[in-house]
Structure 1
Amino acid sequence: MAKDKTAEPRVQGVALRSLPKVSLHDHLDGGLRPETILELAEGTDVALPASDAASLQEWFAERADSGSLVEYLKTFEITVGVMQTREALTRVAREFVEDLAADGVVYGEVRWAPEQHLDGGLTLEEAVEAVQDGIEQGEDIVEDSGRSIRVGQILSAMRQGDRVQEVAELAVAFRQDGVVAFDIAGPEDGFPPSQHRAAFDYLAGEFFPVTVHAGEAAGVASIRSALLDGRALRLGHGVAIARDLEVVSREGEEVLVQFGDLARWVRDREIPLELSPSSNLQTGAVAHWGSQIEDHPFDLLYQLGFCVTVNTDNRLMSRTSLTRELAILQAAFGYDLDDIEQFQLNAAAASFLPVEQREELIDLISEGFAR
C-alpha cells in the first residue's frame, strides 16, 4: 500500500484513519502495492522502470502527475501487465481489501476491467472468479483480525473497445456472485456513452445498476450522455458538472450561483458525484478552475447541496489513501467532523447495496462518528 505521507491526520482531535469510511471509486489495477508489482513481474516480460519499491512508487506518482487523463492512463500498462493470471488477480484483490480495511474503510466497491486480464489465458468468467476469491480471502483476513469490511465488484468495460455488451452481460451473470454494478472506463473524450446505448438498454432492462466515468476529461456533454444514454445512477468523477454553474456574485462567504438545467437536475435528483481530489488534479480535470486543491470545485458543489463523495481513484498512482484525501480536503476547506461524516453518509446512501444493507451501513457510520 502507498505510504500515507500525512502523519496520522486528525480533525478535532480524532484520527481520521480510525473513522468508518466508504470507498466508491477505487480501481483494482490502480491500488497495487509496489512490492507486489516487483514480485509479480518476476518471470514475466513486463519491464519495470525501477528495481525497488520506493523508486517504483515514485515513478508511478511522477508519471501520473501529467495533467492529462490519456498520459495518466499509460501508467496502467505495468499494473495490468502483472495481473494476467488467476494467482495474481487473487493476490492483488486480497491485498486491496486488506489495505482498505487498514485505512478504516468498512465498505468498498472495487472497479476493474476483466477484458484487460486475459493475456494469460483466462476467460472473462475465470478472471471475475479470481478477483472474487481474493476479495473473500481479504474479508476473512480482516474479520480474523477483529475488524470487518465488505467489498463489491464493479465491472468496467473499456469504452474505446468492442466488448462493452459482453462485459455488461458478464456483470449481470455475476450479480449474485459479488458484482454490484457496471461501468465504462478508459479515454473519455471521443468515446461517449451514447456509442454503447444498446448495452445500457440491456442493463436497464435487467434493472442492473450503472455508474459511468463522465465529466472528468470530456466536459458537460459526457455527463449528459451518461445520464440520458447510460441511465447512470452515479457519476464517476463528474467534476465538469461545475461548468454548468455560473457564479453571479460573491460577497464574503455568500456566493450567488445560477444553475444550468443539467446541474440543477444532478443536484435536485441527488445523483452522487464520485469525486477524487488528488486524481482530479493529476489528470487536469480541474484545470478549468486552477491547479491547486483549493481550486477544486468540491467545496462549491458541497455548499450548493450536491451529493459529493470522496474517493481515491487510484491509490498507487496518486500515492494516497481515503484518509489522506479527507485530510487534504479538510486542510483546504476547513471541514469539521460533521462534514467528514456527511461525506461518508453520502457514500453509504449511494452504494450499490440493497436498501436494508445501506441502512445498516449508515447506522455503522453514525455510530462510529458518535464514538
Structure 2
Amino acid sequence: MTTTDGRRPTAEEIRRAPKVLLHDHLDGGPRPATVIELADAYGYTGLPSTDVDKLGGWFRGPSRASSHSGSLERYLETFRHTVAVMQTADALSRVARECAEDLAADGVVYAEIRFAPELHIERGLSLDEIVEAVVDGLRVGAGGTGLHARVLLTAMRHQARSLEIAELAIRWRDRGVVGFDIAGAEAGNPPTRHLDAFQYIQRANGHYTIHAGEAFGLPSIWEAVQWCNADRLGHGVRIVDDIAVDPDGKATLGPLANYVRDTRVPLEMCPSSNVHTGAAASIATHPIGLLRDLSFRVTVNTDNRLMSDVSLTSEFATLVETFGYGWADIRWFTINAMKSAFLPFDQRLDLINKVIKPGFDALAANSTPRT
C-alpha cells in the first residue's frame, strides 16, 4: 500500500522539490575529478586510476574492491582513497564547498553532512582546524543557494576517541555543528562502548544519531535506543527483523519495533547504499516499503553519493519507480526528515511551512499525470 495522489513525479520534478537530507558522509561524496586533483596536489599515489571516468567507475562498479560488493567492510575500504586526499584545510574546505554546491543543485534545502575529524589528522591539523575548514567550506558552497547546511561530527566506533569528538561537537555547537554520531563496522563494536560520549552529549543538551541496524541485527538497534538513548538511528534497516508479515500481508510488530514506532525514533534510510552493502537484497525488497506503510518515522537519504552513484533526487526517483510513490509520499518522507533534523524547533517549522509545503504544493499541482 502507498499513499499516492494520482501523479507520478518525474526525476526532473523531484530535483526541483525542496528536499531534506539527514545522512550524507562528506568523504563519501567527493567529485572524482576533485579526488584526482587533490591526489596530484598532495602527492598521493594510491588511486586505482587517474582518469576521471575510470576512477568514478571503480568507486561505483561491481569490481572486487569497489563499493558495490554486498559487504559493508568492502564498501568502507573505498574510503581510504577519499580520506587520503582530505588531509589539509584547503582540501577539506574544497570538498565541503563542492558538496554544498552539488546538494543545492539537487534541490536540497536542508542537509546534515557528517564526517569523522579523527580521520583527517595525518598532516598535522588539529581537530578544531578540521571542523573549521569543513564548516567554512559548507558555508561558502551554500551561500545564496537556499541550502541550509549543517555538520554532524562522527566518531569511529572501533576507536577510542568518541568522548573527545563528543566534546568537539559541543564546542562547535551554534557554529555550524548540530550533532554527534558514531560510524564504522557494527559487528564487534557495539554502541555501548561509547556510552560515556553519549551521556556527555545528553548532559550538554545536545543531539546525536547512531549507526545501528545496518550490517548488524536487532541487538545493535536495541542498544542504540535503550542503552544509548539515540535521537535517531542511522539506517535501522534490521528493525524489520522484529516484524512478522503473514501471507495475507498483515504485519505484527515485536516489542522493539513497536517501541521504535511508538516513540517516533527517526530512521535514516539509504536504500541504494543498503543494497550495495548487503543490508538489503534489492530496492524492491528493501524494508522501506513496509516501514512506510506501517508509518514508522522513515526518512530517505544518500549515505555516500560517490560510492553509491546517487543523489537524493535519484533515490526518490528509484522509490517512485519501485513502489509507485507519488507526491504525497515524497512530501511525507521530506517532512519526516525536517521534523527529525537537529535544528531548533522554530527553524524546522519555518522550513516546513515556508519552503517545503509551498514547494511541494506547487510541484504537485503542475506535475505529469500518472499513466
CA RMSD of aligned residues (A): 1.1
* 1:1-371 paired onto structure 2 within 5 Å: 11=9, 15-42=13-40, 43-62=42-61, 63-140=66-143, 143=144, 147-250=145-248, 255-286=249-280, 291-363=281-353, 364-371=355-362
Q: Which amino acid aligns with 1:265?
A: Y
Paired with 1:106 and 1:126, the residues of 2 have a C-alpha distance of 26
Maintained 8 Å contact 1:64/1:75: yes
Maintained 8 Å contact 1:17/1:103: yes
Identity, in percent, stands at 51
Maintained 8 Å contact 1:12/1:336: no
Maintained 8 Å contact 2:44/2:85: no
- Alpha-carbon distance, 1:12 to partner: 6.5
* Cα deviation digits, residues 279-314 of structure 1 (max 9, x gap): 00000111xxxx221010111000001011100000
Maintained 8 Å contact 1:168/1:203: yes
* Cα deviation digits, residues 229-272 of structure 1 (max 9, x gap): 2211110000000110011232xxxx211111110011111111
Maintained 8 Å contact 2:97/2:138: yes
Paired with 1:207 and 1:192, the residues of 2 have a C-alpha distance of 23
Gaps of 5+ in 1: 1-9
- Alpha-carbon distance, 1:13 to partner: 9.1
Paired with 2:149 and 2:136, the residues of 1 have a C-alpha distance of 12
Gaps of 5+ in 2: 1-7, 363-371
Are the structure 2 counterparts of residues 232 and 19 from structure 1 closer, same or farther at C-alpha, using a change threshold of 3 Å?
same
Which position in structure 2 is the counterpart of 1:3? Answer: none
Paired with 2:157 and 2:45, the residues of 1 have a C-alpha distance of 25
Task: Give the total of aligned pairs.
Answer: 349
- Alpha-carbon distance, 1:34 to partner: 0.4
Which position in structure 2 is the counterpart of 1:6? Answer: none
Which range is displaced more, 82-91 or 147-156? 147-156
Maintained 8 Å contact 2:21/2:300: yes
Q: Which amino acid aligns with 1:313?
A: D
- Alpha-carbon distance, 1:197 to partner: 1.1
* Cα deviation digits, residues 122-162 of structure 1 (max 9, x gap): 0001000010110111122xx1xxx3111110000000001
- Alpha-carbon distance, 1:223 to partner: 0.5
Are the structure 2 counterparts of residues 46 and 167 from structure 1 closer, same or farther at C-alpha, using a change threshold of 3 Å?
farther
SS at match of 1:48: coil
- Alpha-carbon distance, 1:111 to partner: 0.3
Are the structure 2 counterparts of residues 19 and 122 from structure 1 closer, same or farther at C-alpha, using a change threshold of 3 Å?
same
Maintained 8 Å contact 1:46/1:81: no
TM-score, L = length of structure 1: 0.92
Paired with 2:229 and 2:74, the residues of 1 have a C-alpha distance of 29
Paired with 2:200 and 2:13, the residues of 1 have a C-alpha distance of 45
- Alpha-carbon distance, 1:343 to partner: 0.7
* Cα deviation digits, residues 192-231 of structure 1 (max 9, x gap): 1111111111111111101000000111110011112221
Higher relative contact order (CA 8 A, sep 6+): 2
Paired with 2:11 and 2:222, the residues of 1 have a C-alpha distance of 42
Paired with 2:46 and 2:200, the residues of 1 have a C-alpha distance of 40
Q: Which amino acid aligns with 2:209?
A: T
Paired with 1:228 and 1:202, the residues of 2 have a C-alpha distance of 16
Maintained 8 Å contact 1:46/1:78: no
